[in-house]
Structure 1
Amino acid sequence: MQSISPVIFMVVIIALVLWRRMRAAAKPVKGNGYRMLLPLLFLGFGILGLLNPQLHLTVKEVTLSLLFGLILSVPMIMTTNYEFREDGQIYPKKSKAFIFALVGLIVIRLALRSYLSGLDPAELGMLFYLIAVAYVVPWRVVSFVKYRKLLAQRGSVLSQ
């Protein structure tokens, strides 16, 4: 029963992310795009967990987690794009590849969780947190840059 609950939890998370993503694709991105960077602020607080004296993570484990997260950010970055629509607003592009990238990411995390099950739960949690930070930060920053480029293009088109 205990192995089923993380799967159910992940299915619920996937469903919520996909629901949110589909809703967001129907609405234009508002403002200058700085709200895309807000999750980075919230993620920053979790880094303080590295100061926990109960954690015995090696530099190698932390480095590998961060590198693995960076690798996982690549499909997320490639499948997140924005577009102008006929009303002159900028919208997130709908992408089936994003859904596959997200599901693949969750499957990889579940496989890693069972592979690394011998670790202390606090250490395992911190390693997964580091992986998440390492794929969310580049993905959000690149998404922000992509949006700002389109915003600048829209500004130059409107000024002509």
Structure 2
Amino acid sequence: MNATIATIISIAIFILIFNGLRRRMSVPIKSGVSLLLPILYVSTSLFQLLDPKLHVVNSHYIYAFGIGIVLSIPLIMTTNFEKRSGEIFIQRNKTLFIILISFFVIRLIFHGHFLSNDVDTSNFLMNMVMLSYITVWRMASYRKYKAVK
């Protein structure tokens, strides 16, 4: 995939995620399972493993996963839940949005330069970083949600 097209798609997906999270802060959480659904959505990027043009060294998986874990820490710290009128909401927090925007900008900067000059491999590794931080962040958020409930 062309790097420009991949960047445009990434921007469109980011805008959808950003707006969805902003809206979710004003709607009560009906089920904690909805917090875990983004893991399922992002995990579809693992289908890239079937691409024969993909050349990833095993250590790159570990690096991508480690970077994702480190990136999840500020997200976990800024994501909290509160009870309002008997229902549970995500607490409004501008810092969370600043962190997400920062991650996206970092992704755009390093896209194409992340451990490889091959666009397909770079896309996959960036998706692995994203999958790992979303997985850790959302699982921790689910635990926080259960604690408030």
Flag whether TM exceeds 0.5 (same fold): yes
Task: Classify the TM-score, shorter chain.
Answer: 0.7 to 0.9
Aligned residues: 148
Percent identity (aligned): 29
Q: Which residue of 2 aligns with 1:24?
A: 24
Q: Which residue of 2 aligns with 1:55?
A: 54
Quote the offset at 1:71 in angstroms. 0.9
Give me the TM-score of the superposition, normalised by structure 2.
Answer: 0.84
**Letter aligned with residue 80 of structure 2:** N
Q: Is contact 1:14-1:102 (8 Å) kept?
A: no
Q: Which residue of 2 aligns with 1:156?
A: none
**Letter aligned with residue 55 of structure 1:** L
Quote the offset at 1:62 in angstroms. 1.4
Describe the SS at the equivalent of 1:54.
coil
Deviations 1:52-99 (A, max 9, x none): 3322211121111111111111111111110011x1111000001101
Quote the offset at 1:8 in angstroms. 5.8
Q: Distance in 1 between matches of 2:123 and 2:3?
A: 16
Describe the SS at the equivalent of 1:115.
coil
| Unaligned residue ranges in structure 2 (runs of 5+) | none
**Letter aligned with residue 65 of structure 1:** A
Q: Which residue of 1 aligns with 2:70?
A: 71
Q: Give the counterpart of 1:103 among 101, 104, 108.
A: 101
Deviations 1:124-160 (A, max 9, x none): 1110110111100001101111001111xxxxxxxxx
Q: Distance in 1 between matches of 2:106 and 2:74?
A: 13
Q: Which residue of 1 aligns with 2:131?
A: 133
Q: Which residue of 2 aligns with 1:41?
A: 40
Which 4+ residue blocks in structure 1 deviate beyond 6 angstroms? 2-7
| Unaligned residue ranges in structure 1 (runs of 5+) | 152-160
Q: Distance in 1 between matches of 2:44 and 2:4?
A: 29
Instruction: From the CA coordinates, give the structure whose radius of gyration is larger.
Output: 1
Quote the offset at 1:3 in angstroms. 7.9
Q: Distance in 2 between matches of 1:45 and 1:117?
A: 22
Q: Distance in 2 between matches of 1:5 and 1:50?
A: 20
Q: Quote the RMSD (CA, aligned, Å).
A: 2.4
Q: Is contact 1:29-1:91 (8 Å) kept?
A: yes
